[in-house]
A and B are shown apart, each in its own frame.
Chain A
């Protein structure tokens, strides 16, 4: 198994980071939506899971960024228009940025509500700000806005990958897909 990236394909580690984070992000939206109509007790439980998953995403994002900095990055296909190449870089940068900003806002928001974040009941994260209802409301709005922005960019990102695969017929999607994208064995 190829763990590191090559210039033509993402390695297994990068792929694992990518798809695990995709699943976790979807989970976060599902949990946040589910928490909305719940009774106080049930809501506490669902939000506790949402927070723990959020911190997991934050930790994975950090590791993933470190991994990316130590790996070659497969370039855009030849003949890609400049505006598309720039759009790709900007959107990837924003996705990384939002993977940090969104959970950090969630963490701060919880502290502002005098509710420390417990990681799956194993340990409690420090509170970096004092309880303050007004701050909490602002952070809540900001956290939601960033989450929705992330969803919007991720949707464009997904649409672009599908465009590359079905219209351009290049290997952009395939090189991030485990198994299906593997080059045929050389024999």
Chain B
């Protein structure tokens, strides 16, 4: 009887230790050093914007891609393209409609290693209440207790309804938008 109980205790201990060792690392975003930006094209000329308010819940371990997960929440009303009129237009009904849809979200659970520090993920972006798959590519570089997660994605704004009425016109604002992110994470 005693041996049986010892065995169960040992098994329990092994399972607990094992699952802790297997769980992908939970990282904490350092907002001041991190950036989430995008590049759009207006009448043929590129312009850059940044989202000043976003959170990123990152669980990532190159040795445990199955247990990794990104959950990023973005405030579209925090958009900054260095021109307040353009920012107001972006937040308005026909574009981000930030009042009605105050949060955009990106969740990724499927990851693939591409060699070295390169990875890809296929996640779901919910923007202006439309959810679609958006693949991302990124690099993950760890040093001591921090890590840099840098990557990009390409998306089409009209896929998410960003651009209603007159703003559907892609010669005014191109459909293709590139999103870039540079995140500093600490354990």
**In the complex, B83 has a CB within 8 A of chain A:** yes
- Chain A nearest CB from B15 CB (Å) reads 56
Identify the closest chain A residue to B43 (Cβ).
Answer: A48
Q: Are A115 and B42 in contact (CB under 8 A)?
A: yes
Number of A-B contacts (CB under 8 A): 47
Q: Are B45 and A116 in contact (CB under 8 A)?
A: yes
**Residues B88-114 near A (CB distance < 8 A):** 89
Identify the closest chain B residue to A48 (Cβ).
Answer: B43
Question: A118 contacts which chain B residues (CB < 8 A)?
Answer: 43-45
- Chain B nearest CB from A31 CB (Å) reads 13
**In the complex, A30 has a CB within 8 A of chain B:** no
**In the complex, B159 has a CB within 8 A of chain A:** no
**In the complex, A75 has a CB within 8 A of chain B:** no
**Residues A17-70 near B (CB distance < 8 A):** 39-42, 44-45, 47-48
- Chain A nearest CB from B129 CB (Å) reads 23
**In the complex, A120 has a CB within 8 A of chain B:** yes
Q: Are A115 and B47 in contact (CB under 8 A)?
A: yes
Identify the closest chain A residue to B171 (Cβ).
Answer: A45
Q: Are A44 and B82 in contact (CB under 8 A)?
A: no
**How would residues 139 to 178 of chain B score, 1 for a CB under 8 Å from any chain A CB and 0 otherwise?**
0000000000000000000000000001101011000000
Which positions in A face B, CB cutoff 8 Å?
39-42, 44-45, 47-48, 113-122, 124, 131, 133
Interchain residue pairs with CB less than 8 A apart (15): A40-B89, A41-B169, A44-B42, A44-B172, A45-B43, A47-B43, A114-B82, A114-B83, A114-B86, A115-B45, A116-B46, A116-B47, A117-B45, A119-B44, A121-B44
Which positions in B face A, CB cutoff 8 Å?
42-47, 81-84, 86, 89, 166-167, 169, 171-172
